[in-house]
Every structure is written in structure tokens, then in C-alpha cells.
Structure 1
């Protein structure tokens, strides 16, 4: 994966708004924090539909979902591409909080 390629993270709008106030985003997956998981789950653009379906396929929360577009060059923590199981597809994992200024765009998820 080219270093300049953006990575994506799907989340609830209220969680992103809270992160903007704090200055860092620290949620890993639906309801789990960076501290719970040890890293923040992300995806490439091609992986996003499957990841969104897995995490939010039956989402009925009060918030709309948004996609954070993250520039890896702006991260000050490790980014590793790892497979959840041997031989599986590698997904980007961010090993620390994502600075708000590393998020270059926020897209609505439909």
C-alpha cells in the first residue's frame, strides 16, 4: 500500500464531534475504545463496504455514520497493515490516537 494513500475509519458522528473537541480520536470499533482494542481499526477504500457491513450492518443508533478520511503522513503513531487471521486480507491498524488534523475529510456514509 503506498504511504500516501488515505485510510478510512467509519464511526458515529457524535464520536467524531467529541474527538474534535478533545483534539484526538480514540475509538476503535463500535463501542470499543483504543484502550480496549490496542489499536484503531481502519480500512482502505476498497475494504470499506465489507468493514462497514460487518461493524454497522444492522446499525440503528441515533447518530448518522461518517467516514473519517485519514492521511497516514499526518499520524504520529505507528500504522501497520495486519491480517485478522493468517492468510487473511491485511487491514490498516493505527496504534494510538488519531490527531484531528490527520483527518483530511469527513464523508457521510449511506
Structure 2
């Protein structure tokens, strides 16, 4: 299982098409995380001001139609993520049938991502 953070409106914008965030066109791949703890660190580093609710796609890597490679963060991983952590990068859109579950990020009183729960 790999994880991808996405605002609700982006995920629901084109439900009849594979999911293709802006990073696919900009960076050539979809940014993902290898586990829940890393996903929360990524949310805290890059998504604290993103529109909410903020979702996490739980993607079955084996069901993806696009190639996936694991690469270290350049120049460095976000705070709270160990040096050398390999991040999954999906080199194409995420086919929706590979999304096994959709979770929502919980936020604490300080505005930090603190956990994941089933999306409503």
C-alpha cells in the first residue's frame, strides 16, 4: 500500500477519469508516501494551508497501471522523515480501481496533521 495526499475537490473533480494531479504534468510523476507516518509528515510539511477536508488515497501498488519507482527525497526529506526514506513515485495517472481506501486527515488544535480516519 502506498499513500497520496489530495484535497477533496481535486479527488472528486473528474470521477470518471484516472486521477492525475498537477504534479504529474509538472514533475512527471504522482508523489506518494510509503506509510501512514510519512504521509502525516508530508501533510504537515506541504499541506497545512491546503483546502480541507484533506484526503489520503490508499493505493494498492500492485493494481496500478502506471509504473512506480521508489526514490529518495531531493534535496532532503520533510521534517520528521528519516534520511534515506524512499518515496513511491507513480509515473502516470492513478487508475481509480487501484484506490483501495480513502481516508481523511485529522488535525490537532495546533493545525498539525495528527492521524487518519475513514473519510465520510
The Cα shift of 1:19 comes to 3.8
The Cα shift of 1:60 comes to 5.0
The 1:90–1:16 alpha-carbon spacing in structure 2 relative to 1, beyond 3 Å, is same
C-alpha distance in 2 between matches for 1:33 and 1:19? 16
Aligned to 1:40: 30
- 2:64 matched to 1:70? no
SS at match of 1:98: coil
SS at match of 1:33: helix
Q: What residue ranges of structure 1 are gaps of 5+ in the alignment?
A: 1-5
**What CA RMSD, in Å, does the superposition of the two structures yield over aligned residues?**
1.7
SS at match of 2:15: helix
Aligned to 1:104: 100
- 2:85 matched to 1:85? no
Q: TM-score, normalization: structure 1?
A: 0.80
C-alpha distance in 2 between matches for 1:101 and 1:108? 19
SS at match of 1:46: helix
Q: What residue ranges of structure 2 are gaps of 5+ in the alignment?
A: 76-82, 107-120
C-alpha distance in 2 between matches for 1:50 and 1:33? 18
Aligned length: 98
Give the conservation status (yes or no) of the 8 Å contact 2:70–2:89: yes
